Amino acid sequence: MAEGHAHKGHQHGHGEQRSGVAVGILTCSDRSARGERADVGGPTIHNVVLDRFPGAKVAQYKVVPDDREQISSTLAAWADDERLDLILTTGGTGLAPSDVTPEATHAVIDRAVPAFSMAMLFESLRVTPYAMLTRAAAGIRGKTLIVNLPGNPKAIQENLDAIIEVLPHAVQVVRGEDTHAEGGGHKEHADHDAGHGDHDRHASHGDGHREHQSKHDDHAEAARDREKHNGDGEAHAEHESAAAPAERAGIARNVGGPPC
């Protein structure tokens, strides 16, 4: 974490339930900050949040230039002083020299949450291969979840489509709330675990079947051995039976002949 952005953290206690989700929208764009271009990313996020995030309210909205220090300072202030639950940034996530939003985000977060970035990337790659040019970051500062989004409204929509279902539960977990109380998100976990249980039972059944087959093969091999042994015994008996008269004849000849 960069110097000058040490944080106090949220003061509400562990396990405390809070109603509503306070959201901050931060647009990072030189041209929008100078008034040369209207901000289209911020309003897009605002509409999606209100439409698809029950209980969420936009508590902070700001446009800043592509300046690492200004972005980091705003993120830190919103997390520490405003105690926002979720901050969504837009813009500055690409490969251009001025795209510094990911660096500004990494400078203030305590822990990264790379799976959010991965989910958004996978969703966008279904639309265009150019999605791989993103460097969007996601992470946690204190009890605030921060997620970088692209600047293009269509790309914003695609990215939010990938994570919007998980965001409410993620916010609860980051806030330290007891999500077991209402089962938030845990039904899916239970279903997921149940699926693994079915898989394990199938695997166990498969192991039992293979064990049964192995025993069956062992019995069959033993039967073949007995059959072979019996066949060898019968052949040996026939051999001994055929040899007996000759041996008896030899004995008779030896008895009647001269001593050696």
Average pLDDT of the residues in 100-118: 99
pLDDT at 89 over 50: yes
pLDDT given at position 215: 55
The reported pLDDT for the residue numbered 200 is 52
Question: Residues 226-248: what's their mean pLDDT?
Answer: 46
pLDDT digits (tens, 9 = 90+) for 142-178: 999 999 999 999 999 999 999 999 999 999 999 999 7
Cβ count within 10 A of residue 118: 13
The answer to whether domain 21-179 has CATH 3.30.365.10 is: no
* Over residues 233-240, mean pLDDT: 44
Query: What are the C-alpha distances in Å from 242 to residues 85, 234, 236, 250?
Result: 100, 12, 10, 14
Query: Within 10 A of 72 (CB to CB), how many other CB atoms are there?
Result: 23
Q: What is the dihedral of CA 220, 224, 226, 227, to 10 degrees?
A: 130
Given this model, what pLDDT does residue 214 score? 55
- Can you give the pLDDT at residue 178? 72
pLDDT, position 45:
99
* CA 221 from centroid of its chain's CA atoms: 47
- pLDDT for position 238: 45
Element (H, E) at 56: strand 56-64
User: Cβ(88)–Cβ(156) under 8 Å?
Assistant: no
pLDDT score of 240 = 45
**Residue 58 pLDDT class (50, 70, 90 cuts):** very high
pLDDT in tens, 174-191: 999 976 655 445 555 545
Give residue 79's pLDDT band: very low, low, confident or very high (50, 70, 90). Answer: very high
pLDDT at residue 251 is higher than 60: no
Q: Give the confidence band of 77 by pLDDT, cuts at 50, 70, 90.
A: very high
Distance (Å, rounded) from C-alpha 67 to C-alpha 192?
Answer: 43
DSSP H helices in 39-109: 41-52, 68-80, 101-106
* pLDDT-derived band at 99, boundaries 50, 70, 90: very high
Mean pLDDT within 47-65? 97
What's the pLDDT score for residue 70? 99
The 10 Å CB-count burial string (b at 16+, else e) for 122-146 is ebbeeeeeebeebebbbbbbbbbbb
Give CA–CA dist 5/101, Å, rounded. 15
Contact between 145 and 172 (Cβ < 8 Å): no
| 194 or 128, greater pLDDT | 128
The whole-number average pLDDT for the span 59-70 is: 99
Say if strands 144-149 and 86-90 run parallel, antiparallel, or are unpaired. Answer: parallel
d(Cα 203, Cα 45) in Å, to the nearest integer? 45
CB distance 89 to 32 below 8 Å? no
- CB 122, CB 90: distance < 8 Å: no
Whether the per-residue pLDDT at 217 is higher than 50: the answer is yes
